[in-house]
């Protein structure tokens, strides 16, 4: 059953899909609908076919939920008829975008409109839930035979999400009358014992041969082609049938409604002229060419018809003769060939045919009608005229509109596209160049005549049309150059001139030299350094080209200079720089911008590396050449520091070389030693101050000196053992310390109670382990030693002594 939970899911799904398709463009659908007909017109003029008389037509529901449709070119399966929905038959879009009606393409997985109209009691009883938005078309009818039938398609947006998720939107065709109660439903699955057509009964898994999967609103090709209708799923064309009693009055109620909520539309499509009571005889026509695409409109003098009279197989055992008469405005023997006066069936024969031709009467009388009328009583015993209405249409003469054309340039593309009216389509085109399409393209090189011969499908009219394409003739394009061809000095300005004759005009100019484009002017100003060939290429509007070459000679050679070599000097030094000139016209002039000097040699003494520029001109004076000489300053920087934290007398002292810009080094280490190493070490004695000097030399031989005074501390050493064994053996019988580099000494030894057990001011003392004449007991003792070194610096040294006997 469709619960409130399902209803909420539908609303959420509707919102999400609506947002997803908000920005999708609208597409004109092949399925078209209209609400322009009244319910009576829909039944009487659209739905009803042969053998049925209809009265008392009524409709209940929203007026936008019912209308007529044309399904030609769509995947619906029905060409035309009536459509009834639970929402709308119009191509509406919602507030969030997305299609709401049945029109394609299928770009919305939840299309629908809630009309807020009432449901229907009979449909509610079938569904077992409340129904909404019911559309009900009902009428009385009298059949002219013992059966009634019509064709339909049922579709819904509730496919596929709500298959077997609860009872879904419901529809039914209720028939009542003799032999029926009021709730007999004609909408059943063929070949079953009355199983109704529903979403749960006809889908991809159940009775799938009757189901068409039409996508989910997001999948291709259904969402991008107007060939597909909107509904996510629908049935194939199904025929509803019922046995009735001839001549009795019956009531047919066609109804559809939403179930559980008003979301997601469903619809039923009823085929035009399919509501029929099966008659014993029917008449139909098949046209030889069917030019007007309806099998009832015949082209005058162009086609023939095969008239078929068919009787019901149940009557085939009897001989049958049926009178045939004609009517309408057409005249037999003048407008059409003669027809038989009766149709005769032999036993076992169900179809009788004859041919009908239409003639050209050469009268402009407009369309004419022809009625073929069979006088055959219906199964109820009533007089029954079975009529086939044919229309004989005149074919207007063929007219071809095709005008002369012209092109600007020989070889330009031209398309000849005649406009054709009259005749009977399709048309057959035959051009004198062998092409057979309606429009042709060509690239004529000269004025050309084209002849078209046109016939129509009837071959009753042939038209010949001639058209000329004018192609202009131009004199050959020629370009020439003139003006100066020699100059004395390089870089002398010269204007190159050109003159163009012939061609189609609107010329483009391109000057080039040494395979490089240099301008697009008709006249070009140049100033070459040396003799050079200039080419001008001219192209007219028709892409014709011509070119010419002009050699411009420069009589004087190009001025050249050779700057002197770059120099490297020591800071503060002075050096001479120079430039040499050759070629040109002679009478060279020099100019050094840094100083204003005008000779080819100058003295410079920069404080840092510097580039010097010189400008040289010759006697022509038409240009100057600039040269550059760089004078670099070689400026080494000597520097070092001592790596040892506190250099000490007699121990190696290490140096770190921090010099830059140098390649060799000389060290005066201050102790009488020298070194050429990058970073040497030295030993000093006695202690005191020493002067260390580093001289760093650059590659150019420039020197820099750095001196630093270092202090060498006096030698100092103190060691006190931590274990003492006064046990009368030969080893370690007395306790001593080692000391180097002191001027004062005081040693004190304490027991664990802070009592002094030994004390001495002599660094060469020896203690035998006795206190007050007795050996001390085994224990750990603490010493404190006060020492003054050679620099007068006083230090205190603490430690432990373990006595073991």
Which residues, at least 6 apart from 444, have a Cβ–Cβ distance to it below 8 Å?
407, 410, 411, 414, 469, 471
Say if residue 20's pLDDT is above 80. no
Token duo for residue 247: 């001549």
Residue 39 pLDDT greater than 60, yes or no = yes
CA distances (Å), origin 251, targets 139, 146, 181: 6, 15, 11
Contact status, residue 174 vs residue 255, Cβ threshold 8 Å: yes
Residue showing tokens 């939107």: 169
- pLDDT over 60 at 14, yes or no: no
Phi-psi region of 128 (alpha: psi -120 to 50; beta: other; left: phi over 0): left
Burial degree of 573 (CB within 10 A; 0-12, 13-18, 19+): middle
Averaged pLDDT for residues 514-533: 93
Rounded average pLDDT over 57-66: 96
Q: How confident is the model at residue 98 (pLDDT cuts 50, 70, 90)?
A: low
Alpha helix stretches (DSSP H) within 21-60: 39-41
SS3 assignment, position 60: strand
* Sequential DSSP letters for 773-784: TEEPPSEEEEEE
pLDDT of residue 8: 37
From first CA to last CA, the distance across the chain in angstroms is 106
Average pLDDT over residues 31-59: 93
Helix (H, G, I), strand (E, B) or coil at 10: helix
pLDDT of 445-475, one tens digit each? 999 999 999 998 887 678 999 999 999 999 9
Q: Provide the pLDDT confidence category of residue 167 given band limits of 50, 70 and 90.
A: low
Helix, strand, coil shares of the chain, percent, nearest 5, are: 5, 45, 50
Residue holding tokens 């191509």? 91
pLDDT of residue 210 exceeding 90: yes
CATH number of 640-712: 2.60.40.10
Confidence of residue 95 (pLDDT cuts 50, 70, 90): low
- Residue-wise pLDDT tens digits, 598-655: 999 999 999 899 999 999 999 999 999 999 999 999 889 999 999 988 899 989 999 9
- Is residue 21 pLDDT above 60, yes or no? no
Residue ranges of the domains in the chain?
4-271, 281-393, 399-470, 478-554, 560-634, 640-712, 717-803
Q: Tell me whether strands 385-393 and 297-299 are parallel, antiparallel or unpaired.
A: parallel
**Is residue 739 within 8 Å of 760, Cβ to Cβ?**
no
> Strands across the sheet with 524-526, in order?
478-482, 494-501, 524-526
| The two three-digit tokens of residue 748, written as one number | 């004190």
CATH placement of domain 560-634 = 2.60.40.10
Sorting pLDDT into bands at 50, 70 and 90, what band is 280? confident
Mean pLDDT over each residue of the chain, to the nearest integer: 89
- Mean pLDDT along residues 661-676: 95
Point out the least confidently predicted range of 207-216, 278-287, 379-388, 704-713: 379-388
Where does the pLDDT of residue 228 fall: very low under 50, low under 70, confident under 90, or very high at 90 and above?
A: very high
Closest CA to 61 of 88, 101, 29, 28: 88
pLDDT at 11: 39
Element (H, E) at 121: helix 121-127
Beta bridge pairs of residue 348: none
What is the four-CA torsion angle of 60, 65, 71, 75, rounded to 10 degrees? -110
Q: What is the pLDDT of residue 6?
A: 40
CATH number of this structure's domain 717-803, picked from the four choices 3.90.1150.10, 3.40.50.2300, 1.10.10.10, 2.60.40.1220: 2.60.40.1220
Q: Kindly report the CATH class assigned to 399-470.
A: mainly beta
Are both 281-393 and 640-712 of the same fold?
A: yes
Looking at residues 40-51, what average pLDDT do you find?
92
Fold of the 478-554 domain: Immunoglobulin-like (2.60.40)
On the question of pLDDT at 96 being above 60, the answer is no
Question: pTM of the entire structure?
Answer: 0.44
Residue entry with tokens 């407009």: 366
What is the rounded average pLDDT of the residues 172-178?
94
Closest-CA residue to 683 (of 659, 637, 715): 715
What is the C-alpha separation between 199 and 159, in angstroms, rounded? Answer: 7
Q: What is the pLDDT of residue 730?
A: 63
Separation in Å, CA 631 to CA 184, 571, 575, 602, 702: 116, 11, 9, 12, 15
Q: Establish how many alpha carbons lie within 13 A of residue 59's alpha carbon, considering only the half-sphere containing its beta carbon.
A: 20
For residue range 674-727, list pLDDT tens digits in order.
999 999 999 999 999 999 999 999 988 899 999 999 999 999 889 999 998 887
Find all residues with CB under 8 Å of 185, minimum gap 6, and list them.
Answer: 126, 172, 173, 174, 194, 196
For domain 281-393, is the CATH number 2.60.40.2030? yes
> Residue 543: its pLDDT value, please?
94
pLDDT reading at 774 higher than 80: yes
């Amino acid at each position: 059953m469709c619960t409130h939970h399902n209803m909420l899911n539908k609303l959420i799904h509707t919102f999400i899909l609506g947002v997803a398709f908000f920005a999708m463009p609208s597409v004109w659908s092949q399925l078209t609908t209209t609400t322009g007909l009244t319910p009576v017109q829909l039944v009487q003029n659209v739905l009803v076919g042969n053998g049925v008389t209809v009265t008392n037509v009524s409709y209940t529901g929203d007026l936008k939920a019912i209308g007529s449709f044309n399904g030609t070119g769509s995947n619906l399966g029905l060409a035309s008829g009536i459509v009834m929905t639970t929402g709308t038959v119009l191509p509406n879009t919602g507030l969030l975008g997305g299609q709401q009606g049945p029109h394609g393409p299928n770009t919305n997985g939840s299309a629908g409109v809630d009309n807020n109209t009432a449901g229907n009691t009979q449909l509610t009883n079938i569904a077992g839930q409340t129904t909404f938005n019911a559309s009900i078309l009902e009428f009385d009818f009298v059949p002219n035979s013992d059966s009634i039938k019509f064709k339909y398609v049922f579709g819904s947006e509730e496919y596929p999400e709500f298959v077997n998720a609860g009872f879904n939107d419901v529809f039914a065709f209720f028939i009542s009358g003799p032999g029926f109660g009021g709730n007999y439903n004609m909408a059943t699955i063929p070949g079953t014992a009355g199983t109704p057509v529903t979403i749960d009964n006809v889908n991809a898994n159940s009775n799938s041969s009757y189901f068409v999967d039409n996508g989910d609103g997001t999948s291709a090709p259904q969402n991008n082609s107007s060939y597909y209708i909107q509904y996510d799923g629908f049935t194939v064309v199904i025929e509803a049938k019922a046995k009735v009693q001839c001549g009795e009055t019956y009531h047919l109620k066609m109804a559809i409604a939403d179930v559980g909520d008003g979301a997601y539309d469903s619809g039923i499509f009823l085929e035009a002229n399919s509501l029929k009571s099966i008659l014993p005889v029917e008449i139909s026509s098949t046209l030889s060419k069917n030019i007007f695409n309806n099998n009832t409109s015949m082209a005058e003098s162009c086609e023939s018809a095969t008239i078929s009279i068919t009787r019901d197989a149940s009557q085939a055992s009897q001989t049958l003769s049926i009178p045939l008469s004609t009517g309408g405005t057409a005249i037999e023997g003048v407008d059409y060939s003669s027809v038989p006066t009766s149709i005769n069936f032999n036993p076992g024969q169900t179809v009788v045919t004859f041919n009908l031709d239409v003639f050209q009467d050469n009268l402009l009388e407009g369309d004419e009608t022809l009625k073929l009328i069979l006088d055959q009583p219906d199964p109820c015993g009533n007089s029954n005229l079975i009529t086939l209405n044919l229309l004989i249409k005149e074919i207007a003469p063929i007219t071809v509109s095709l005008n002369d054309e012209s092109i600007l340039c020989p070889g330009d593309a031209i398309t000849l596209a005649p406009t054709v009216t009259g005749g009977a389509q399709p048309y057959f085109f035959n051009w004198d160049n062998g092409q057979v399409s309606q429009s042709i393209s060509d690239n004529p090189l000269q004025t050309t005549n084209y002849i078209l011969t046109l016939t129509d499908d009837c071959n009753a009219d042939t038209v010949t049309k001639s058209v000329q394409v004018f192609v202009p003739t131009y004199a050959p394009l020629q370009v020439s150059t003139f003006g100066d061809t020699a100059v004395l000095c390089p870089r002398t300005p010269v204007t190159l001139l050109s003159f163009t004759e012939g061609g189609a005009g609107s010329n483009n100019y391109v000057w080039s030299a040494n395979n490089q484009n240099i301008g697009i002017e008709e006249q070009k100003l140049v100033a070459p350094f040396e003799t050079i060939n200039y080419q001008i290429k001219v192209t007219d509007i028709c892409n014709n080209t011509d070119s010419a070459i002009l050699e411009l000679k420069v009589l004087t050679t190009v001025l050249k200079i050779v700057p002197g070599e770059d120099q490297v000097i020591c800071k503060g030094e002075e050096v001479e720089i120079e430039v040499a000139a050759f070629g040109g016209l002679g009478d060279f002039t020099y100019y050094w911008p840094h100083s204003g000097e005008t000779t080819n040699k100058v003295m410079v003494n920069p404080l840092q590396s510097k580039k010097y520029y010189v400008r040289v001109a010759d006697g022509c004076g038409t240009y100057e050449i600039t040269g550059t000489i760089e004078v670099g300053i070689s400026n080494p920087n000597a520097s070092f520091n001592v790596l040892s934290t506190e250099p000490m007398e007699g121990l190696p002292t290490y140096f770190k070389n921090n010099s830059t810009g140098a390649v060799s080094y000389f060290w005066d280490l201050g102790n009488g030693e020298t070194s050429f190493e990058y970073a040497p070490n030295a030993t000093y004695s006695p202690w005191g101050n020493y002067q260390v000097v580093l001289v760093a030399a650059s590659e150019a031989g420039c020197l820099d000196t750095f001196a630093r005074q270092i202090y060498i501390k006096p030698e100092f050493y103190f060691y006190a053992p931590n274990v003492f064994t006064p046990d009368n053996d030969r080893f370690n019988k007395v306790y001593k310390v080692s000391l180097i580099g002191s001027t004062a000494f005081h040693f004190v030894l304490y027991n664990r109670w802070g009592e002094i057990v030994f004390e001495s001011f002599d660094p060469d003392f020896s203690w035998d382990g006795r206190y007050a004449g007795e050996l001390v007991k085994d224990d750990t003792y603490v010493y404190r030693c006060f020492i003054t070194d050679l620099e007068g610096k006083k230090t205190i040294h603490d430690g432990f002594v373990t006595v073991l006997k």
